[in-house]
Amino acid sequence: MRRWYRPFPGDTVRDVDGRSREFVCTETGAQQLDQLRSELAESFTVSLGARPARATRTWLDTFDWRLYKAGLTLQQVNAHSDSQLILNGPDAEQLTTPINRTTRLRWPAMAAALPAGPLRDRLAPVIGNRALLPVVRAASQTSDLRLLNEDAKTVARVSVDSLSVTAPADRGQGPLPARLTVHEVRGYATAARRARRLLAGTDGVSSSRLTALDTALAATGRHPLDYTGKVDVKLRPAMPGREAVALLLLQQLDTLEANVDGVLHDVDTEYLHDLRIAVRRTRSALKVVGDVLPGDLTLRFASEFRWLGDITTPLRDLDVQLEELPSMAAGLVAARPADLEPFRLYLTRRRAAARRALNRGLRSDRFATVLGDWRKALTVPRAGRRPSGPRTGELAADRTRRAYNKVIKLGAAITDESPAESLHTLRKRCKELRYVLEFFASLHDPVAQRAMVGDLKRLQDCLGEFQDCEVQQLEIQALAASMLARQAAPAPTLLAMGEIAGQLGRRQQQARTEFAGRFAGFAGSAGRRRLTALTASPRPASPEPASLRAASPEPASPEPASPRPAAPRAARSRTTAARP
């Protein structure tokens, strides 16, 4: 049976149009409520609804804000002994599900832990393999004013929601300005419009475009989308290359650190994935543009980040095996999915051991020292020294060309007889090119950048499929041997594992067949034109955000009156690029 709930004020996500339905009281207290009532009494009989409803509201989202990005708002509302999840979406979409005591829902929770039903079905594809976490919690007290016409019929409602942020405990807490929402009663639109006009003209009341979640988050000093695993640094062509590289590396360090807790507590597997990407980007940056950093920084830290990458690999490989197992099992022809259960249990045990090993690494002095020293090295200003080396625009053009040319050279040398190792090496160079493109994306024309990344991504997908299948086949062989040695491998399980290895082999062969076409698509004349467009015309400088200025490792140099033109270098690059 479907339950009918009136939405809480401000829960409808970003549906506030020009005629705002949402208001905030800039002043608080009973006096303000009396004033509201007297303003509304000009056109209506105002009746105070049932006694105020008290509830605790906990907003939930994934670490990377997948719900917010999809225009969805999820909250757990506890009132008296009842608890329910309420999902609001665009176009007044609302789904609810009660949480009873037997559900035993604890946050963080994956989609599979939610009560079965339409709400879970709606959420699951959006959050994928990420866990839902409490974002902010508030105590809420909602009063209802009913606006009546001359027949004493309710023709509009005004709800007054007083929120007080209670968690996270270490952030700013306390009462927020009361939120007023005009609820239209069906068939009485004119009355709701009149109520909105009256509220808009009331002293101490102003219209609001923020949702209750936005307001509560702001009180804790956070804002939606405050985490992204992507490269998110705005660069200017004329800034010193050293400064730009330090900014890029600092953002990767931030990303890495932001994911450590999630890995340690095994909240979901994406924390480790994002952490590893931050490590790989850092290693690629050290390799490709690290030479512009002062002293022996690159030499000192390259081996440390390699160590960090290495200690995360076993757990990630097992995560991938476990995540892919259901789809692999579904594709079995001769064996039954149930035959793989001992394999899954074995993987799960291995994963627990790998997690313990990784946690030891992440809690070690070495890890703390690497991260601490790295941040210090990137942020300590070098007083009195003007940064030397290329400007960012030049650096970007030069290193993008170099990375591109390496890919072209290696790719062109690959034939049908080339060993798997050649494709693996090409894949690594492709990743470097991808990271270089991401690092300097803010300097590039977005259309050319998207086109270049699109072509590269298609090639990377093919190489990734080839290499992943190779690695997984080898792992399955090794795991089978290990399971046999421990007498943990019944014959049907080994046969099923063999069938999976066979599936992987066929997929790998398919990727190998597709490689030539994908590479040609990337390396063709269109690809070279795109490279030229990217490296020839860095976008005009945009004002530097204050946050970046604050994080700059070295005082920014004064802007030259006329930045050095990059065109001649780009013209040279055309010939270089055309000669893979």
Positions touching another protein (CB under 8 A) are 1-6, 146, 151-154, 185-188
Cβ closest to another protein, residue 187 vs residue 558: 187
Cβ closest to another protein, residue 17 vs residue 151: 151
For the bound state, the minimum distance from the C-beta of residue 22 to another protein, rounded and expressed in Å, comes to 20
DSSP state, 109?
A: B
Question: What sections of 413-445 are H helices per DSSP?
Answer: 420-439
Cβ closest to another protein, residue 137 vs residue 146: 146
Q: Phi, psi at residue 208, to the nearest 5°?
A: -135, 140
Cβ closest to another protein, residue 153 vs residue 385: 153
DSSP state, 76?
A: E
Cβ closest to another protein, residue 137 vs residue 183: 183
Contact between 245 and 398 (Cβ < 8 Å)? no
Cβ closest to another protein, residue 188 vs residue 367: 188
For the bound state, the minimum distance from the C-beta of residue 90 to another protein, rounded and expressed in Å, comes to 17
For the bound state, the minimum distance from the C-beta of residue 155 to another protein, rounded and expressed in Å, comes to 9
3-class SS of residue 162: strand
For the bound state, the minimum distance from the C-beta of residue 187 to another protein, rounded and expressed in Å, comes to 4
Per residue, the 3-state secondary structure of 4-65, as one string, reads: CCCCCCCCCCCCCCCCCCEEEECCCCHHHHHHHHHHHCCCCEEEECCCCEEEEEEEEECCCC
Cβ closest to another protein, residue 153 vs residue 230: 153
Integer Cα distance of 196 and 182 in angstroms: 7
Contact between 95 and 84 (Cβ < 8 Å)? no
Integer Cα distance of 19 and 320 in angstroms: 49
Q: Please list the helix, strand and coil fractions of the chain in percent, rounded to the nearest 5, in that order.
A: 55, 15, 30
Going by their DSSP bridges, the two strands 82-89 and 133-148 should be labelled as unpaired
For the bound state, the minimum distance from the C-beta of residue 192 to another protein, rounded and expressed in Å, comes to 11
Cβ closest to another protein, residue 196 vs residue 434: 196
Cβ closest to another protein, residue 192 vs residue 250: 192
For the bound state, the minimum distance from the C-beta of residue 34 to another protein, rounded and expressed in Å, comes to 24
3-class SS of residue 121: helix
Contact between 361 and 304 (Cβ < 8 Å)? no
Length of the chain: 580
For the bound state, the minimum distance from the C-beta of residue 188 to another protein, rounded and expressed in Å, comes to 7
For the bound state, the minimum distance from the C-beta of residue 515 to another protein, rounded and expressed in Å, comes to 50
Contact between 136 and 168 (Cβ < 8 Å)? yes
For the bound state, the minimum distance from the C-beta of residue 6 to another protein, rounded and expressed in Å, comes to 6
Q: Which token pair is 522? A: 């990337």
